[in-house]
Structure 1
């Protein structure tokens, strides 16, 4: 008999249409509706992206489907069927909805994973807390993958993406050592440092591993997409970094947003539109590494860490 293991695939979430942006933004703001000005600004950002909202949501849907396929293929010796469920932080189906769906399907053993390689109590930790509470209330025993920031296959696939773009710079006459590589991730409030949170260190470890494997010597880490709150967030922001590089007469910059695994607003707008516009003003040539999305190599990383965590479950055959 085949045992069934549920996999809760968690991510931030995206509205399914422009009509859903207000409800989505209100949920992010913990029930406080945005002002008309704030709502217009967010809608304008989605509209500025080619294709608008839809491809952002489609990316996440494809990742969940591709992970289920990867988990259930190529391991004939494993008498387990994996069933993936989506759980979003700020949109339907919410994290709790994904757990409920598992319980309805009779699944009692599961693994939870967030589509983010680096752990912070303020990011991945909040997903896990919600999923664990709902799982315990629903009779689902769930183990969690907290991070996978140094998984060899992850470093390999990210290194290949960096190298591919450096090759493009070379084709246009720029030497590889003339290109400044900017690794980046979503900023978080500075107070995580006082908490001993591993987020920054894990990001630096990933950056260093990629740089060493790609033979990159000219690189630095920067932050992006900080929230607009009164408290200070981790910096410097990538826009400030670009200005500093412009003043330093750097001409070629490669953006490598290693904290993001798919094309979302922080990549397609914050980098491809906002940062690109500033780079043009500064006469910098800026390229960005391609996102992982549902790349088979990334699915291999996810399936490996999910299987490893699933091996810790006591699965009953049914």
Structure 2
């Protein structure tokens, strides 16, 4: 039975990307990630070398366990009776198995937190497609309770205070790690995952205010988060006019396909050439310090900065920060109130306002093999 404050929902699902937890997992994990693209196992073993540098273990699963514990503790601390489950797109615990568990436990209407804050295909729509595909599979199998299971994804949270405020504090802490003589002149490089320009240009809904800005909603939302953090850092440090830029990392795919630029390593080189005294890398595009942070930033970018003689530091991601867990609770209560026909306050910082609850069918389309319009909506009957 659901709590009155979270009714009609009776569970929360933490939905994430997943990652290998040992050397033997690396290639099978990458096969899951790249399924359908025809990439040979030998090539995947080459691609997986950065995992092997860390013993074949991605930090993401351990960090999701920490977030899971933080969410449960926050909800319990507020007297909310809402069980929290966890499922992944590409590794155990697999989404389909978690949905099977939810249905078997008698859960019927479930809120879903995807560990991606911004509008784009792979970070939002693809997770909704994963939910639809997993639920369809369970229904075709005749899994008990699957026919009655409904899943609603929580809105994007890039401008929620519980996401932005920890990033502000983490950026201030990273600034403090720099030598005092370069601290005030240090520039901020806000980093996120590069995606193909075609996906960036079509990210968000056509009527989304963010789509009126250069680069579609994906870029516009990141710029908004970066601005909010940069302005707060300037206020806290008393350093006005500190230079900052949105840059990208973790590019993959064909070199013939245009992707968002500049890459973080190219950016560091240009900053060194321009005489920047130091750079703070702020990974606003990631919820946790997973492999794309510890390898692409802490390893590759840090090595590039050392080669350039450029002092750098790196801000932590929000991870299991209690303020982020509280923000998820806020989003849960907000969505539950809306489902009950109420008009709750919708918390958001900056000029773009809160994201929509239910994504329109034409929101964040894939530029490869777009699904029919019906697949774009939340999987609810």
* TM-score, normalised by the number of residues in structure 2: 0.75
Tell me the distance in 2 between the aligned counterparts of 1:72 and 1:12.
26
**Equivalent residue for 2:75?**
71
Tell me the distance in 2 between the aligned counterparts of 1:194 and 1:153.
27
Q: Secondary structure at the match of 1:82?
A: coil
Contact 2:117 2:285 survives alignment (8 Å): yes
Residues 1:211 and 1:314: Cα distance change in structure 2 (over 3 Å): same
Matched, 1:145 2:154: yes
Tell me the distance in 2 between the aligned counterparts of 1:130 and 1:189.
21
Contact 1:223 1:236 survives alignment (8 Å): yes
Q: Secondary structure at the match of 2:182?
A: coil
**Equivalent residue for 1:267?**
293
Residues 1:194 and 1:149: Cα distance change in structure 2 (over 3 Å): closer
Tell me the distance in 2 between the aligned counterparts of 1:33 and 1:73.
48
Alpha-carbon shift at residue 128 of structure 1 (Å): 1.6
Root-mean-square deviation over aligned CA pairs: 2.2
Q: Secondary structure at the match of 2:31?
A: helix
Residues 1:273 and 1:201: Cα distance change in structure 2 (over 3 Å): same
Residues 1:259 and 1:196: Cα distance change in structure 2 (over 3 Å): closer
**Equivalent residue for 2:249?**
224
After TM superposition, the structure 1 = structure 2 runs for residues 37-76 of structure 1, keeping only pairs within 5 Å, are 37-49=42-54, 52-53=56-57, 55-74=59-78, 76=79
Which stretch of structure 1 is more off in the superposition, 179-188 or 301-310?
301-310
After TM superposition, the structure 1 = structure 2 runs for residues 69-218 of structure 1, keeping only pairs within 5 Å, are 69-74=73-78, 76=79, 80-135=80-135, 137=139, 138=146, 139-169=148-178, 172-176=180-184, 178-197=185-204, 198-215=217-234, 217-218=242-243
Q: Secondary structure at the match of 1:116?
A: coil
Tell me the distance in 1 between the aligned counterparts of 2:33 and 2:281.
27
Contact 1:112 1:143 survives alignment (8 Å): yes
Q: Secondary structure at the match of 2:20?
A: coil
Tell me the distance in 1 between the aligned counterparts of 2:94 and 2:340.
26
Tell me the distance in 1 between the aligned counterparts of 2:183 and 2:29.
44
Which stretch of structure 1 is more off in the superposition, 187-196 or 306-315?
306-315
Deviations 1:171-208 (A, max 9, x none): 532242x1010001111111024425411111111000
Deviations 1:4-36 (A, max 9, x none): 621111111101211011111111111557545
**Equivalent residue for 1:250?**
276
Tell me the distance in 2 between the aligned counterparts of 1:222 and 1:210.
15
Tell me the distance in 1 between the aligned counterparts of 2:318 and 2:112.
20
Alpha-carbon shift at residue 97 of structure 1 (Å): 2.3
* TM-score, normalised by the number of residues in structure 1: 0.89
Residues 1:131 and 1:312: Cα distance change in structure 2 (over 3 Å): farther
What is the number of equivalent residue pairs in this alignment? 308
Tell me the distance in 2 between the aligned counterparts of 1:94 and 1:310.
26
What are structure 2's unaligned runs of at least 5 residues?
A: 4-8, 140-145, 205-216, 235-239, 342-381
**Equivalent residue for 2:266?**
240
Tell me the distance in 2 between the aligned counterparts of 1:279 and 1:37.
31
Alpha-carbon shift at residue 271 of structure 1 (Å): 0.4
Which is strand-richer, 1 or 2? 1
Deviations 1:257-295 (A, max 9, x none): 011111111111110010001101111011000122212
Q: Secondary structure at the match of 1:258?
A: coil
